[in-house]
Chains A and B, each alone.
Chain A
Amino acid sequence: MIVRGKVFKYGDNVDTDVIIPARYLNTSDPKVLASHCMEDIDPSFASGVKEGDIMVARNNFGCGSSREHAPIAIKASGIACVIAASFARIFYRNAINIGLAILECPAAAENIEAGDQIAIDFDSGVIQNLTKNQEYQAQPFPPFIKSIIEQNGLLNAIQDGGYKNE
């Protein structure tokens, strides 16, 4: 699968409190959450993001709380993939479990800038920067995690008779 989109770029340690502030956690409606996504560090994000756009950040993306509302808000906003140099571990699990595509790629996190047009090939893990004419290789998922994603999330995988462990 290949996705193309415009980049929203952020820095280090983007925490779940800025992805979706706790004052909105009295709901779990994805549309409502999406309308407040990133508003404390980028008030224009929710109105500017289009279906298929890409979020790129540096280290430790999604640090802080375990709120699954954070990847849910990002996914519901239309973001097709989050690329970061590294992810906080609970966010990483949550994204996989709800089916938000994420890629770890320090080179992409370093070189991609806000507004760049990029294309991602999920099968090969190749990220193309169409604006800068560069290419970066992301780390592919281990087969076990790939099997959860292919079965459309953790709970579907369990209901389908269990996910594959190596």
Chain B
Amino acid sequence: MGMTMTQKILADHAGLPMVTAGQLINAKVDFVLGNDITGPVAIQEFKRSGFTEVFDPQKIALVMDHFAPNKDIKAAEQCQMCRGFAGEMQLQHFYDVGEMGIEHALLPEKGLVASGELIIGADSHTCTYGALGAFSTGVGSTDMAAAMATGQIWFKVPPAIQFVLTGKPQPYVSGKDVILHIIGMLGVDGALYQSMEFTGSGLGHLTMDDRLAMANMAIEAGAKNGIFEVDDVTREYMKGRVQREYKVYKADADAEYSRVIPIDLSAIEPTVAFPHLPDNVRTPKDFGDIPIDQVVIGSCTNGRLSDIKTAADILKGRKVAKNVRTIVIPATQAIYKEAMKLGYLETLIDAGCAISTPTCGPCLGGHMGILAPGERCVATTNRNFVGRMGHTQSEVYLASPAIAAASAVTGKLTAPSQLKEVSK
């Protein structure tokens, strides 16, 4: 019996010729990630357990992105602890305000993660790097501490669901719509403990930004990881970023899958997750009348250059509706600079948007756009749980950048196709 893509990566990192679903293994990690929320807990555990050295100062990143720039004194203290630890351990990849970006946009951009590698991060959206054909998954702070000390981690080898993608997405249908559609189909625990493996001829119609957004939200279906077959799009993305040899794994032809699900990309409509779960999805015909108070375009799901471009294209020559606070957060400094150079930020500011330095901020109800009771937000983020972006009586609608931008214009949940033409 053959192995899935994930199983092959796990087997190699465990030094085993073969693994099967359910097997408990010890695997070597290629990279370990933490942030200003999970890092401090990991650092405390690391020290309390008496460790004095990390396994490799080149292979650990601490990214100050969640409550940074520091939102209050306690947040400042958490960053301070991370900064101190990074100095003490001489970590090569400590990213602070001025060079930091949202971790899951930053690591691929800097070439710190690559195809075939095994990455763990004390952040649930670490599954993002599966877009590059890596095995990457979120863990807690204690796992992070253990991996920082030993360079290893235990795993239960997951079974996998295979998604065979065909067709070409319609205009204004992005990776975000595809993954929301899939989560709606599976449910928020539909892939619990499993890998979601993406393959098929439709892959060629998905950009790297589409794939990163899709792998990012595998966790919202309960999955251990999402992983994409490597193709020319992946190789092109890694060229010039990844400065080391990387390995490309392909699932065996006789790999066993718990389910095989065909997805016709051309049949997917713009898709929004209504409150309060990512699987509560609706398409434009069922949007109804949802007046909104805020729009957030950003996050580790959709704060990349193509996301900012999509918003700028829609908002060019238009204005955001009165009383809709529209906050755009480019995910990294490089994306920010490029969006500025290409004129996207000027277009967005002219339309009435506020532009923020990179931060996770509002996505998890931290800062930079918290909601009051009864307020509604259309956000390109990844979770819409009760109280996620603020008060427990506020609501978050998860959407693509195109829908978020169109909604900013009308002041209610709107698909781009429902917008009137701009008068020339």
Q: Which residues of A contact B (CB under 8 A)?
A: 13, 15, 17-18, 21-23, 25-28, 40-41, 59-60, 63-69, 71-72, 86, 88-90, 93-94, 97-98, 142, 144, 153-156, 158-159, 163, 165-166
Residues of B within 8 A of A66 (CB): 38, 121-124, 126, 138-140
Residues of B within 8 A of A72 (CB): 41
The CA-CA distance from A93 to B143 in the complex, in Å, is: 8
The CA-CA distance from A159 to B154 in the complex, in Å, is: 15
30 contacts between A and B (CB under 8 A): A13-B277, A17-B364, A17-B385, A26-B67, A26-B78, A60-B188, A64-B124, A64-B383, A66-B121, A66-B122, A66-B124, A66-B140, A68-B141, A86-B192, A88-B222, A90-B124, A90-B140, A93-B140, A94-B142, A94-B143, A98-B140, A144-B24, A153-B142, A155-B45, A158-B149, A158-B150, A159-B49, A165-B24, A165-B154, A166-B24
Contact, CB under 8 Å: B26 / A17: no
Contact, CB under 8 Å: A26 / B72: yes
- What total of chain B residues lie within 8 Å of the partner, measured CB to CB? 53
Contact, CB under 8 Å: A158 / B49: yes
B74 within 8 A of A: yes
B409 within 8 A of A: no
* Shortest distance between the CB of B310 and any CB in chain A (Å): 27
The CA-CA distance from A13 to B121 in the complex, in Å, is: 23
Contact, CB under 8 Å: B222 / A60: yes
Contact, CB under 8 Å: A68 / B38: yes
Known A-B contacts: A40-B386, A88-B189. Give 16 more (CB < 8 A): A13-B188, A17-B386, A22-B388, A28-B40, A60-B188, A60-B189, A63-B188, A65-B124, A66-B126, A67-B140, A69-B41, A88-B192, A90-B124, A90-B138, A90-B219, A144-B154
Contact, CB under 8 Å: B222 / A28: no
Pick from A22, A27, A93: contact of B364, CB below 8 A.
A22
Pick from B46, B75, B224, B383: contact of A17, CB below 8 A.
B383
Residues of B within 8 A of A98 (CB): 140, 142
* Shortest distance between the CB of A92 and any CB in chain B (Å): 9
B50 within 8 A of A: yes
Residues of B within 8 A of A71 (CB): 140
Contact, CB under 8 Å: A154 / B146: yes
Contact, CB under 8 Å: B366 / A22: yes
* Shortest distance between the CB of B66 and any CB in chain A (Å): 8
User: Counting chain A CB atoms within 10 Å of each CB, which of B49, B124, B224 scores highest?
Assistant: B124
The CA-CA distance from A165 to B138 in the complex, in Å, is: 21
User: In the complex where A40-B387, A66-B124, A69-B41 touch, is A26 in contact with B143 (Cβ < 8 A)?
Assistant: no
List B residues 58-79 near A (Cβ within 8 Å).
Answer: 66-67, 71-72, 74-75, 78
Closest B residue, CB atoms, query A28: B41
* Shortest distance between the CB of A90 and any CB in chain B (Å): 5
Contact, CB under 8 Å: A65 / B364: yes
* Shortest distance between the CB of A68 and any CB in chain B (Å): 4
Residues of A within 8 A of B392 (CB): 40
Contact, CB under 8 Å: A97 / B192: no
Contact, CB under 8 Å: B386 / A165: no
The CA-CA distance from A27 to B366 in the complex, in Å, is: 13
Interface readout for B36-58 with A: 1 if CB under 8 Å, 0 if not?
Answer: 01101100111011100000000
Contact, CB under 8 Å: B222 / A89: yes
Residues of A within 8 A of B138 (CB): 66, 90
The CA-CA distance from A50 to B120 in the complex, in Å, is: 36
The CA-CA distance from A60 to B220 in the complex, in Å, is: 11
Residues of B within 8 A of A153 (CB): 142
Contact, CB under 8 Å: A155 / B24: no
The CA-CA distance from A154 to B139 in the complex, in Å, is: 13
B21 within 8 A of A: no
* Shortest distance between the CB of A62 and any CB in chain B (Å): 11
Contact, CB under 8 Å: A15 / B385: yes
The CA-CA distance from A96 to B44 in the complex, in Å, is: 18
The CA-CA distance from A67 to B126 in the complex, in Å, is: 13
Residues of B within 8 A of A25 (CB): 37, 66-67, 364, 366
The CA-CA distance from A59 to B24 in the complex, in Å, is: 23
List of 5 A-B pairs having minimum Cβ-Cβ separation, nearest first? A26-B74, A94-B140, A97-B142, A60-B189, A155-B49
Contact, CB under 8 Å: B142 / A155: yes
The CA-CA distance from A71 to B141 in the complex, in Å, is: 11
Pick from A28, A41, A59, A163: contact of B189, CB below 8 A.
A59
Closest A residue, CB atoms, query B150: A158
B365 within 8 A of A: yes
Contact, CB under 8 Å: A28 / B44: yes
Residues of A within 8 A of B38 (CB): 66-68
Residues of A within 8 A of B257 (CB): none
The CA-CA distance from A59 to B193 in the complex, in Å, is: 13
Contact, CB under 8 Å: A18 / B387: yes
Closest B residue, CB atoms, query A17: B385
